[in-house]
Amino acid sequence: MAPKTGEMLHLRGNALSKGEPVALPLTQSSMYHLPGTPDGQASYGRVDNPTWVHLEHVLSHLEDAPCLSFPSGMAAISAALFATVKAGSRLLIPSDGYYVTRLLADRFLSRLGVIVEERPTIAFAEGGFDGFDVVFAESPSNPGLDMIDLTEVADRVRAAGGITIADNTTMTPLGQRPLDLGIDVVVSSDTKAMGGHSDMLMGHVASRNGDIMERVGEWRKISGSIPGPHEAWLLHRGLETLDVRFDRMCSSAEVLAERLAAHPAVKQVRYPGLADDPSHKLAQEQTTRFGFLLSLTLNSEDQAEAFINNCPLLRPATSFGGVHSSAERRARWGDDVDPAFIRLSVGCEPVEELWQAIEASLNAL
Ligand SMILES: *Cc1c(COP(=O)(O)O)cnc(C)c1O
């Protein structure tokens, strides 16, 4: 069910006592006053922090599930994987998803005896899921924006006795609800749209499976992969405007995708909201919005660079989901895409102003 973001804004306020600050206090402390026998109070900064606790209250409201926060998206992905695999486990990951997830699997998990297999998102279910202990999905995939049927994956993996994890970074809990589709664990890079201001890195893990969350919490406590209180505070502040930002970004992306597709300098546009996009049907069934990410392919690498660098309303930067629109050629990182393929993250600029800048940059090519 869609989260009530109005209720989310008042989660803290409705639990306040007279005289307490309405805004979330930032608690920077490694020590807690703890005379005598500890009985459940905050004990030490690697284990407890009141700013995380409130952030996680808000994240849990958004996910409708228990949540734990982490210092980056990769820290959250690491926690979810280390909590669920062991030597001899078979792990399936997308070959075209966020590339650092593949690095984690190849460089670390496989050396610990995890058997890692990769499949492209578009053909993820081909070959079935028998014998996989953990299936890690990313839909839509970053940067290709291919989608898979998460309900089908969840059902088939569960029937085969495995666990599913979905990276929901690109959609946020407002755009897609993998746990409601039957996925066991959601991971997210909150560095992106959740934080929304490109000023910190954070991530979270959400699951309705108590055993998995217990392991994830243990991983955080023991590995020391803990968020800084200031970052937690910044993410909490960002979440307060997630609803308005996400709404504006997705609405603008829908407008821009149509216009980009009609522009003569653009060879191809991928956006799940376009009626002829290969992801459109699944997006209609499985997401509540079509997202704020789109991709466009121009005629050459030089044109792509010129388009990005000459547009005053596009930050030439990696990462996405911020209030400032940004774009980059993904081939510069070795993604298996056309050299003129651009991932564009639509920000919060007024859409007509943004389109004028984008169109002028395309017309100048
Ligand atoms: C950015 C990203 C990550 C990693 O997040 P960090 O916060 O950079 O560690 C993971 N998955 C996806 C889909 C991402 O876009």
pLDDT in tens, 253-312: 999 999 999 999 999 999 999 999 999 999 999 999 999 999 999 999 999 999 999 999
pLDDT at 334 over 90: no
How many domains does the chain divide into?
2
Domain at 348, CATH number: 3.90.1150.10
Give the pLDDT mean for 244-256. Answer: 98
pLDDT in tens, 6-54: 999 999 999 999 999 999 999 999 999 999 999 989 999 999 999 999 9
pLDDT in tens, 124-142: 999 999 999 999 999 999 8
pLDDT band at 335 (very low <50, low <70, confident <90, very high): confident
Q: Are residues 220 and 271 in the same domain?
A: no
Q: Which atom of ligand 1 is nearest to the CA of 76?
A: 9
Report yes or no: 81 and 104 within 8 Å, Cβ to Cβ: yes
Residue 105 lies in a domain: yes
Q: Are residues 316 and 355 in the same domain?
A: yes
Alpha carbon nearest to ligand 1 atom 7, residue: 73
Domain that holds residue 73: 47-239
Whether residue 70 has its Cβ less than 6 Å from ligand 1: no
Whether residue 191 has its Cβ less than 6 Å from ligand 1: yes
Q: Are residues 223 and 266 in the same domain?
A: no
Whether residue 169 has its Cβ less than 6 Å from ligand 1: yes
Q: Are residues 59 and 174 in the same domain?
A: yes
Q: Are residues 99 and 224 in the same domain?
A: yes
Q: Which atom of ligand 1 is nearest to the CA of 203?
A: 7
Residue 134 lies in a domain: yes
Alpha carbon nearest to ligand 1 atom 1, residue: 189
User: Residue 275, SS3?
Assistant: coil
Q: Which atom of ligand 1 is nearest to the CA of 190?
A: 7
Q: With b meaning 16 or more CB within 10 Å and e meaning fewer, what string describes 284-305?
A: eebbebbbbbbbbbbeeeebbb
Residue 32 lies in a domain: no
Q: With b meaning 16 or more CB within 10 Å and e meaning fewer, what string describes 124-159?
A: bbeeebeebbbbbbbbbbbbbbbbbbbeebbebbbe
| pTM of structure | 0.97
DSSP run (H or E) holding 78: helix 73-84
Residue 4 lies in a domain: no
